[in-house]
């Protein structure tokens, strides 16, 4: 997965398909439902049923191997975590899913790669900074994709892309609990346009 991933923290099953449609129509290649949202596995299932052929559906804030299995059963193909747990990475790989473990240092990044990850969530991105990511790019294997998450928004998305990010996780700048699908659509189109220009 490369490109923008929509992080729908706090989304409910009642609204997830409408919001998901707005994101897919705007060209988002991936949607993540964090597991600390209401009924997250149901939201993952609804998204996978509605858009799984057009978009990669993921579960986020995945902290246990049990949740990897539950996410897979719901139809998720991507596992996103705020931390780098070798057991979660291995479980995701064994299930044929793509893990995005959260890493904040080069040491964590290389440990995640050793555990089987090939894509890394740079988190919190605003703490590492664009300069930090550029330094990482110099030492990480070229094929490793870096996805900055945390503090990425319309004001700095282009700079992250120019620095070599393979994509970005977009949370509150795109969706907040209770936002209408129409409001999300407007923001999604604007963010997609910024990304496409880079």
Question: Could you give the CA distance from residue 190 to residue 168 in angstroms, rounded to a whole number?
Answer: 14
In 55-154, DSSP assigns E strands to 56-60, 78-80, 98-100, 102-103, 119-122, 145-148
Q: Of these residues, 15, 32, 56, 145, which one is catalytic?
A: 32
Altogether, the residues listed in the chain come to a count of 198
56 annotated active-site:
no
Sequential DSSP letters for 3-47: EEEEE-TT--HHHHHHHHHHHHHTT-SEEEEETTSSSHHHHHHHH
Segment holding 168, helix H or strand E: strand 167-170
Q: Of these residues, 39, 42, 66, 121, which one is catalytic?
A: 121
Q: Which residues contact 195 (CB under 8 A, 6 or more apart)?
A: 3, 4, 157, 161, 168
Residues carrying an active site annotation = 32, 121
């Amino acid at each position: 997965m490369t490109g923008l991933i929509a992080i729908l923290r706090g989304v409910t099953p009642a609204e997830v398909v409408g919001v998901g449609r707005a994101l897919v129509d705007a060209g988002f290649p991936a949607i993540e439902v964090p597991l600390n949202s209401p009924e997250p596995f149901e939201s993952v299932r609804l998204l996978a049923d509605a858009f799984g052929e057009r978009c990669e559906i993921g579960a986020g804030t995945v902290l246990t191997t049990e949740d990897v299995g539950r996410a897979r059963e719901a139809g998720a193909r991507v596992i996103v975590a705020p931390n780098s747990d070798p057991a979660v990475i291995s479980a995701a790989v064994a299930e044929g899913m793509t893990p995005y473990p959260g890493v904040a240092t080069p040491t964590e990044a290389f440990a995640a790669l050793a555990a089987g990850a090939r894509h890394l969530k740079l988190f919190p991105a605003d703490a590492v900074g664009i300069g930090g990511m550029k330094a990482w790019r110099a030492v990480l294997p070229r094929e490793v994709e870096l996805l900055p998450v945390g503090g990425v928004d319309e004001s700095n998305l282009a700079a992250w892309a120019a620095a070599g990010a393979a994509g970005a996780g977009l949370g509150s700048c795109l969706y907040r609990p209770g936002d209408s699908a129409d409001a999300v659509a407007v923001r999604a189109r604007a963010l997609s346009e910024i990304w496409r220009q880079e």
